[in-house]
Amino acid sequence: NAGVTQTPKFQVLKTGQSMTLQCAQDMNHEYMSWYRQDPGMGLRLIHYSVGAGITDQGEVPNGYNVSRSTTEDFPLRLLSAAPSQTSVYFCASSLKGNQPQHFGDGTRLSIL
């Protein structure tokens, strides 16, 4: 099983550029979420979705947009990249909200 697939694995952007981080899961999970992890810090929730067509903000949503048009896909869009968004981004999914999450391999993003 593929599980949770994130692309790309690495990306370098210039300040002001926009891009979309892709996340797809093949487990028919309802709940999906995006986190960022900065050096020496825990994971912080950016956005989450409890099902197709439903999204909500997490702890650090500014500068990011999400959509959930299908159960499988949950892309994260950076609107205008800033150096403060340099981080490792993880996508995760769970069958339902209160059940264990499965994580993708992560996307390492650098903003110059």
Partner 1 sequence: RKEVEQDPGPFNVPEGATVAFNCTYSNSASQSFFWYRQDCRKEPKLLMSVYSSGNEDGRFTAQLNRASQYISLLIRDSKLSDSATYLCVVYYGQNFVFGPGTRLSVLP
CB of 65 to partner 1, least distance (A): 18
Q: What is the DSSP letter of 71?
A: S
- The answer to whether 106 contacts partner 1 (rule: CB under 8 A) is yes
Shorter beta-carbon distance to partner 1: residue 14 or 39: 39
Task: Give residues with Cβ within 8 angstroms of 41, minimum separation 6.
Answer: none
How many other CB atoms are there within 10 angstroms of residue 71's CB atom? 18
Query: Going by DSSP bridges, is the β-strand pair 19-25/64-66 parallel, antiparallel, or unpaired?
Result: unpaired
Q: Which of 7, 17, 22, 50 binds partner 1 (CB under 8 A)?
A: 50
Q: Give the interface with partner 1 as residue ranges (CB under 8 A).
A: 33, 35, 41-45, 48, 50, 56, 58, 88, 90, 92, 97-106
